[in-house]
Amino acid sequence: MALNTPPLAQDVERYLAARPRAARWLEFLARRRYRLAAFPDRPLPVVVIAHRGRHPARIEQVAHAIEHDWMETPPQCRDAYEEILRQAPGLIVVQLRRTNVCGCLGHRHVIVKEIPFSEPHDAFGDAAVGEMDIAFDRVESWLAQPLMDTALDTQFIAGSRLKEFHEQQLRFRLLSILLHETHHMVAPQATEDVVRGRSLAFYREALANYVEIARATLSFTIDRSFSRLGKE
């Protein structure tokens, strides 16, 4: 968590640490980990990233997207989700999976299934709890905007910054899915076309802004990663 940890996040961290030793030991054996993250410009919602497996770095990718990349997006991207985040459950549990049997990128859960958060607790205060899942492998291989993603990938492929670009691209995808499912939580009556349109616009504008800043701040002659940008 960031230095200015929201009060709710502090309470939840204390709750997780104070649970019976047997419960925490079983989670350890199952490689179940929890990581709390919060958007820097607001105390709520607090996001609990739940992950089981041998890739704890995946938790940090999601956390970094929330704690850092969110504030790097253009104001219009954040403004588009201002009301949605204001109305969102105070505590959002994200079950980070490798994949989903159905092949979907993620789902909003009607019922909270993650055991530590499935029942009310004093640590949550008045905050409502919502839950979703995100399929990391599916998001990693997903072309959110096929033409744009392919064009940018081609521009980066000759240079040394391709890995950095792919990591940033992945975090924007993860963030857009998180916001997409949060939108479903807040407005379950909204059509998929409306929800998808907003999250894809967020991804498109955030990624374009990242590339534009890279073009403006990096030397085209020194780093071939950007040497062809603007020419194609």
151, 145, 165, 148: which is closest to 232 by C-alpha? 151
At 34, the pLDDT band (50, 70, 90 cuts) reads: very high
The two three-digit tokens of residue 120, written as one number: 């009310």
The DSSP letter of residue 52 is E
Rounded CA separation 123/45 (Å): 15
Give me the percent of the chain exceeding a pLDDT of 70: 84
Q: What does the pLDDT look like over 133-155, one tens digit per residue?
A: 999 999 998 887 655 655 565 55
* Residues 70 and 40: beta-carbon distance below 8 Å: yes
Q: How confident is the model at residue 53 (pLDDT cuts 50, 70, 90)?
A: confident
Which pLDDT band holds residue 4 (cuts at 50, 70, 90)?
Answer: confident
Cα 98 from Cα 158, distance rounded (Å): 30
User: Minimal CA–CA distance to 121: which of 39, 3, 11?
Assistant: 11
Q: How far is it, in rounded angstroms, from Cα 231 to Cα 196?
A: 31
pLDDT at 229: 40
Mean pLDDT rounded to a whole number for the chain:
87
pLDDT tens digits for range 80-96 = 999 999 999 999 999 99
* Token representation of residue 93: 């549990």
What is the rounded CA–CA span in Å between residue 56 and residue 231?
A: 39
